[in-house]
Amino acid sequence: MTGRKGCMKISIAAVVVWTATAGVVHAQSPSAGYVEGVAQSAFGNVTSQAYGAEVGVSLGAVVQVFGEVSYVKDTAPSSLVANAQAIANSAGLASHATQPTTIGVAGIRFPFPASSKAEPYVLVGGGVAQVKKDVTFSSNGTDVTGSLSQPPYYIVLGSDLSGSETKAMLSLGAGVVWIVWQKLIVDFQYRYGRVFTDEGLNINRAGVGIGVRF
C-alpha cells in the first residue's frame, strides 16, 4: 500500500514537472516568422534617415533566416562633397551632393528565447548595396546640372561625381524585440553595414521596427 502511494506521488510529481517544463518551452518557442516596417537614423559620413522592411522565418528555436530591403537617403563621403564643391567654385556655381543608397540583405538571426516579453537577438548577413552619386549644380537658384557640358561651363562630370554602382556588403546587427500585444511587436535595433566600394563605405543605422508575428 505504501509502495502504491509512493508511486502515485512520483507519478503526480512527474506530471507537474512535465507540465511546467512544457509551459516554459511553449513560452520560449519562437513564432513561425515575422514581418515589420522599419524607420532608422543613419549615421557615419553624414547623418540621415533610412526606412525599409524586414521579414524572417524561424528554422528552429534559436535560428531564423531574414531578408531586408532598406533605403538610406544619404551616405555621402566627404570626398564627394569636396569634389563637387571644387567644380562649383571653378565655375562660379553652387553645388549640392548626396549619395542615396539602396540595401538588400539576407542572413541569419539568432534570437534568445525567453518567457518574458523581451527577446534579444543578434544577426549576420550579406547582400548588395546600390550607391548613387546625386550631385547637382545651380546658378542663382536655377539647376544647370543638365547643361554643364554646354557654354559657358564646358564641364563633363566623371564617375567620381555621377552614376551609380552596385557592390557587395556585409551586415551585422543586434536588437531587442518587445512583444507589445499578442502578435504585435516593436523591434529596437542597430545595424552596421560595410559596403565594399573602392573607397569603402560604412553605414550605421539605429531605429525601431513595428510589425507582427505569424
pLDDT at 6: 43
Q: What is the pTM of this model?
A: 0.81
* pLDDT cut 90: percent of the chain above it: 78
pLDDT at 45: 84
Confidence of residue 143 (pLDDT cuts 50, 70, 90): very high
92: left (phi over 0), alpha (psi -120 to 50) or beta: left
Query: Which CATH code for domain 31-213?
Result: 2.40.160.20
Domain boundaries, the chain: 1-30, 31-213
In 3-state terms, what secondary structure has residue 16? helix
The DSSP string of 165-212 is EEEEEEEEEEEEEEEEETTEEEEEEEEEEEE--SS-EEEEEEEEEEEE
